[in-house]
Structure 1
């Protein structure tokens, strides 16, 4: 399976290509929106291929040592920059339908993009039979990106009104949309849903949505937890960041948390979930065939830290069952 880093400043293009790649037998490691971030991620991940929008080369060139382990494929305007001879250039017509674009990407990458087998959504056994659900769960965290609003709607609307814990959500979303997302969820959910405020007391039976463009942390202590919002630098390009939220939950609540990683590209949440799993917390990953983009959950599964792998339609039931274990 070939590994790929995708770099383009166009968010819509990035999401579309990532969605196609993530639905096939190609490992999309991560994405980048700038050349600097791209170079850092290529150095860190050592992918087989970097699919690079040539618009990122307008202001600077790639360093010569970048080509040592990775095949570089440029798409976009060839005249945007005088490409180095070792950077392949391809025509990628983005106005076509997904099937045609998938075929084009297949030719570019040099191997057939084979669809991943569709698994039956199910609640799976823990990766380790010795990894049990903590008996005193204090909070639930949900991390989600591409496809998140609809996935959250399906899951949160099925959580019963007497659910005994707070739920904190980090959804990758622009700052002007998180409040409307919370309002729309509040209309269909049995629990109260709202965009999180700064220094707000976190109470059971309520859902807190991280504001777009801000970092949400849990502060205080397990007896009196509060929210903390900040405008700090995005963590791995994400603000709100799943890693930031989950790590703060671990600091305040200890291992007595459920971390749920749902549809989305990239691997935001992986670092924190490694810590949560190591501390004895419970990590649930969304099953592949029910994801819009199988990126974030894939990182959890492939690193073998998923306590459960659950289909979207079973997610609410799995969360409630874990709380009552």
Structure 2
């Protein structure tokens, strides 16, 4: 089997050596070169034609975002960003994902992380996953505050046509909750879905996106600025409000608890599930125990199978409709594929149609 040819880009010689050593240990990875800055990166990329690039966000001359945009404009290929966990680093990383990066790894302690070994396994896994990513369907979304308004106008007209859609247990009067799980490629998919939900959506929306601490707040703020509904990072104990999307904070599991006649967020530091905290399974399992609610579960792009076990638990109790993102639009078809394999998924939809599918059930 051909090895995955990787180009490492970082302005620190120490970091280049460390990343090279980590990746070279894996039998499926061949590090074909390194670059010390943005200009060097573009030169080496054109010369070496790598399969995957690891790209530092913060560099002199051309920064990682500028390099990424050049690559995506000329000849898109899988890129994994390496980012610091500062607010500025998190914001830039989300811009990079919007510009076409497949995934990112957070450096544990700044631009030169002598403790990079902490994320060695994650880095290797993300390079392997990126090599299989489907870049052909990436559509570069508008980055303006009018995104939600533009997309929402078309959704409203479609909902009037699709308004007759009801399924057993899904009456217009029943209380409902939407829960979404995603991983690799998720921020882009979430932007398409969340910005397409109308402002008068009469349900709360819960989201688990696999991300480390420090990045989910930037994601929530970004989506909030682009969407008609309110989007925020979830806080422990807060009551769920209709028309609001709650994103699980990086590093915490997010569960839902009954609090009298309402629902409340419960955050926990219980052990990671399948290597993830937050975990989609944990969220789905907690929602499965909520009575008197119809549930809409959505599983989108991501590697692995997080969400599948939780979906099975949800389907055992109560009225649940499950939507999986299609292979055509998934950047990585791991999580949706695993969900579909449970035979518990009711609809498979392209990412641009998921918001409409959700609204059909609401």
TM-score, scaled relative to structure 1:
0.61
Equivalent residue number for residue 25 of structure 1: none
Assess, with a 3 A threshold, how the Cα gap between structure 1 residues 304 and 54 changes in structure 2: closer, same or farther. Answer: farther
TM-superposition CA deviations, 1:22-66 (whole Å, max 9, x none): xxxxxxxxxxxxxxxxxxxxxxxxxxxxxxx996xxxxxxxxxxx
What is the CA-CA distance between 1:221 and the residue it aligns to?
Answer: 4.7
Q: Does residue 92 of structure 1 match 2:30?
A: yes
Query: Deviation at 1:101?
Result: 3.9
Q: Does 1:321 align with 2:269?
A: no
Distance 1:134 1:99 in 2: 52
**For structure 1, which segment, 278-287 or 195-204, has the greater mean C-alpha deviation from structure 2 after superposition?**
278-287
The CA deviation at 1:300 is 1.0
- 2:175–2:292 CA contact under 8 A, matched in 1: no
Match of 2:24 in 1: 76
Q: Counterparts of 1:148 and 1:254 in 2: how far apart (Å)?
A: 30
Secondary structure of 2:352's partner?
helix
- Match for residue 134 of structure 1? 170
C-alpha separation in 1, matches of 2:347 and 2:51? 34
In structure 2, the residue matched to 1:166 is 204
Equivalent residue, structure 2, for 1:285: 324
Q: For residues 180-207 of structure 1, what are the alpha-carbon distances to aligned partners after superposition, in whole Å with 9 as ceiling and x for unaligned?
A: 1100000011111100011001111111
> Helix, strand or coil for the counterpart of 2:302?
coil
Change (3 A) 1:309 1:254: farther
Partners of 1:222 and 1:149 in 2: CA distance: 33
Separation (CA, whole Å) in 2 of partners of 1:162 and 1:214? 29
- 1:22 aligned partner: none
Q: Provide structure 2 residue ranges, at least 5 long, that are not aligned to the other structure.
A: 1-7, 9-19, 34-43, 53-131, 138-166
Q: Tell me the distance in 2 between the aligned counterparts of 1:215 and 1:272.
A: 13
Counterparts of 1:264 and 1:94, CA distance in 2: 27
Tell me the secondary structure at the aligned position of residue 162 of structure 1: coil
> Structure 1 residue 156 and structure 2 residue 94: aligned?
no
Which shows bigger deviation, 208-217 or 250-259? 250-259
Alignment of 1:254-273 (within 5 A): 256-273=294-311
- Per-residue deviation, 1:93: 3.2
**Contact 1:193 1:206 (C-alpha < 8 Å) held by counterparts:** yes
Evaluate the alpha carbon distance shift between residue 287 and residue 196 of structure 1 in structure 2; reply closer, same or farther with a 3 A threshold: same
Pairing 1:249–2:287 present: yes
Change (3 A) 1:318 1:91: closer
- How far 1:142 moved relative to its partner? 0.3
Q: How much does 1:220 deviate?
A: 1.9
Deviations 1:112-139 (A, max 9, x none): x9x9x99xxxxxxxxxxxx856332520
Pairing 1:275–2:313 present: yes
Q: How much has 1:172 moved relative to structure 2?
A: 0.3
Establish whether residue 194 from structure 1 lines up as the match of residue 142 from structure 2: no
SS at match of 1:93: strand
Structure 1 distance, partners of 2:333, 2:265, is: 29
Structure 1: gaps spanning 5 or more residues: 1-11, 13-52, 56-74, 79-88, 103-112, 119-130
Q: CA RMSD in A?
A: 3.3
The total of aligned residue pairs comes to 223
Distance 1:179 1:132 in 2: 37
Say which of 293, 297, 308 aligns to 2:336: 297
In the aligned structure 2, how far is the partner of 1:214 from the partner of 1:314? 30
Counterpart pick for 2:247 among 205, 209, 212: 209
